[in-house]
Chain A
C-alpha cells in the first residue's frame, strides 16, 4: 500500500497546544504542505504574531521572528526588504490583524509587499480568553460582549478579505474554511496559490481562513465546526476575491 497522507516535512512532529477541534492545527498543516510543495522551507522566514499563533516556531521547522501584537506585516516588510530572496509569511489572528494591527496590514498590502499573509479568523480573542474581536458576529456573546455584539455600539464585524481586495497592492485575496473535506481541499488549493504568488514574485497574497474556537465559543468541536460552515460562512463568504496573475 502507498502512503496517501503523511505529515509535511516543514511541520515538526510534535503535539500542538491547540484545543481539541481548533482549526489552527489544520491551517498550520496546509501552510506546511504548501511550503513543502514549493520547496521553500529552507529559505522561509515566518513572522509569528501574538495570540494562539505565537508558537509558530514550535510547530514549523523554519526560521521565525516574533512580532509585537499586530505588527507582523511591518516586521515581515523589514525582513523581506532586507532579504528579498527569502520566502516570508505572517500568520495572524483576527485580534492581531483586524484590530490592533489594522494600520500595519493595510499599508503592507497597499505597498504590495511581496509577502504572504495567513489570517485566521475565529471571531474571538482565543488566547486571552474569548473576548470580543473585530470579527465577532453581531449578537455573538463573548466574555466582553456578554449581551451579544451590539452593532449600534460595537460596529459590524470586519470583512478583511473584501476590504483588502480594494487595495491596488493586493495581488491575491481569498477566504477559505477547513470545516469539511470540500472546503478543506479548496483551502489547500488557495493557500498553495497564495504561496505561488510570492514564489513567482507576483506580489502581496492574502488568505483569510475561518476557524473554529470551540473552547471560547463554549461549544463542542463538532458544533463549533458546524458554526464555521453555518453562520460564519454566511457572513464571511468563502471565495477568491482577487486573483491577478495569469498562472
Chain B
C-alpha cells in the first residue's frame, strides 16, 4: 500500500497492531492515549477480535498475559501512571517469557503530574520497571510513520525473543497528525510457539509460569534470560544518525525531543556549525556500539531529554572514555517543551 494517509500517531499504532495480526486488546482509559482503545473498540469486533475495557490497568495487563499464554498476538496501552500499575504484570510476563505489546504514551509526573509530553518514564521502561530484574524491548518512535512501523516491529521482536515489548511515546508523537504510508506487515520468520497452553489434548502438559522453586532452578532461569538480553543487544539495537559524518558535536535525543533537536541542528548547520544527531530508536537494547563508534572520532555529546537526566546515564556508559557528555533537560510539565531556538542556544554553548 503506497497511498499516503493523514493520521494521528495513536491511530497509527492501532492500525499497525491490526496489520501485525493483533486481534486482542485490553485497556483502560487514560489521557493522552485513549485514541488507541477508541480505534480498536471500533475495528476489532469487525475482525472477530476481542476488545475489553477492563476494570483497571492491572486487569488489562493480566488479560494480556492470559491471551498471550494461548499464543495469540495481543496488546495493551496506557500512559505513565497506568504503566506503573501494569509493572506487576510486565514482571510476570518477563518471568514467564510471554510476548505481548505494551504502549506507553507517557505523560508527566511524578504522581498525577500532568498530561503533557514527557520522557521521564525512560528509567521505568528500560531498567525493568517492576520487581525481580528483567528487561523488555523498548522502542521510541519519533514520527507517526515510526509509530506505525515500530509497533509492527514490537510484535515481531516480542515473538522472536519471547518477551514483552514496549512502545514508548508521548503526546507529541501520539496526538499529532502526519502523513503515513501504511506499510504491509513485514515478512519475518517467527519461531513456532510450542510452549502455549491450548488444552493438552493427548499431548504433554504445558505450564506457563514464573515460579521456580527447585534448587538452582531460578538462578538458571535468570541466567538464561540474561543471555537472551545479551543476544538482543547484539542483534537488535537500532538508531538513526543525522549529519554525524563530520560533526564536532553530536546531540543525543530520542522520540519527540529528537524532532525538536533535529530542527535545532539544521539551524546550527545553516550557521556553519558541524552538529549531528544520534537518535536511539531502541532504548532497550540501548545502541551502545553506535555511541562507542561515534565517539572514537567526535568527542562532544550533548544529551537532550524531557526530564532531568535519565538516558544520559546510558549515554555516559556507552561513549569513549575521553568523550565529554553534556546534558540539557527540561522536566516535563505544561510549558516545558523546549523550542528549537532554546536547543540551538544549548548547542552553541557546548560546541
Direct interface between A and B, CB < 8 A: yes
Partner-B contacts on A (CB < 8 A): 41-45, 47-48, 54, 57, 61-68, 71, 74-83, 86-87, 103-104, 106-107, 111
- The answer to whether B55 and A104 touch across the interface, beta carbons within 8 angstroms, is yes
Taking CB as reference atom, which chain B residue is nearest A48?
B209
- Chain A contacts for B56, CB-based, 8 A: 103
- Partner pick for B89 among A44, A71, A81, CB 8 A cutoff: A71
- Asked whether, in the complex, the Cβ of B58 is within 8 Å of the Cβ of A82, the reply is no
Tell me the bound Cα distance from A84 to B197 in angstroms: 13
**A241 to B: closest C-beta gap in Å:** 22
Q: Which residues of B contact A64 (CB under 8 A)?
A: 197, 205-209
Q: Which of B62, B65, B207, B211 has the most CB of A within 10 A?
A: B62
| A78 and B64 contact, Cβ closer than 8 Å, known pairs A45-B197, A66-B96, A66-B210 | yes
B88-109 vs A: 1/0 string, CB under 8 Å?
1100100010000000000000
Q: How far is the CB of B64 from chain A (nearest CB, A)?
A: 6
Query: Distance (Å) between the CB of B70 and the closest chain A CB?
Result: 4
Q: Could you tell me the distance in whole angstroms from the C-beta of B159 to the nearest C-beta in chain A?
A: 15
Contact, CB under 8 Å: A75 / B199: no
Q: Are A68 and B50 in contact (CB under 8 A)?
A: no
The chain B residue with its CB closest to the CB of A41 is B200
Partner of A86, one of B52, B65, B199, B205: B199
Question: Known interface pairs A78-B26, A86-B199, A107-B55. Does A67 touch B62 (Cβ–Cβ under 8 Å)?
Answer: yes
User: 19 A-B residue contacts at CB 8 Å?
Assistant: A43-B201, A44-B199, A48-B209, A63-B197, A64-B208, A64-B209, A66-B209, A74-B54, A74-B59, A74-B60, A77-B63, A78-B24, A82-B71, A82-B74, A86-B70, A86-B199, A103-B59, A106-B55, A111-B52
A86 to B197, CA, bound (A): 10
Q: Which of B43-81 contact A (CB under 8 A)?
A: 50, 52, 54-56, 58-60, 62-72, 74
Q: How far is the CA of A2 from the CA of B318 in the complex (A)?
A: 74
Given contacts A62-B200, A76-B66, 12 further A-B contacts (CB under 8 A): A45-B199, A57-B205, A63-B207, A66-B211, A67-B65, A74-B54, A77-B59, A77-B66, A81-B50, A82-B50, A103-B59, A104-B55
Complex formed: what's the CA distance from A87 to B199 in Å?
Answer: 8
B198 within 8 A of A: yes
Within 8 A of A (CB), among B16-49: 24, 26
Nearest residue, chain B, Cβ from A100:
B58
B112 CB within 8 Å of chain A: no
Q: Is the CB of B66 within 8 A of A42?
A: no
CA distance A48 to B52 in the complex (A): 22
Per a CB cutoff under 8 Å, which of A66, A79, A81, A107 touches B207? A66
Q: Would you call A77 and B52 a contact (CB within 8 A)?
A: yes
In-complex Cβ contact of B70 among A44, A45, A54, A107 (8 A)? A45
Whole-angstrom distance from the CB of B37 to the nearest CB of chain A? 15
CA distance A76 to B60 in the complex (A): 12
Interchain CB contact under 8 A, B68 and A78: yes
Question: Does B1 belong to the interface (CB within 8 Å)?
Answer: no
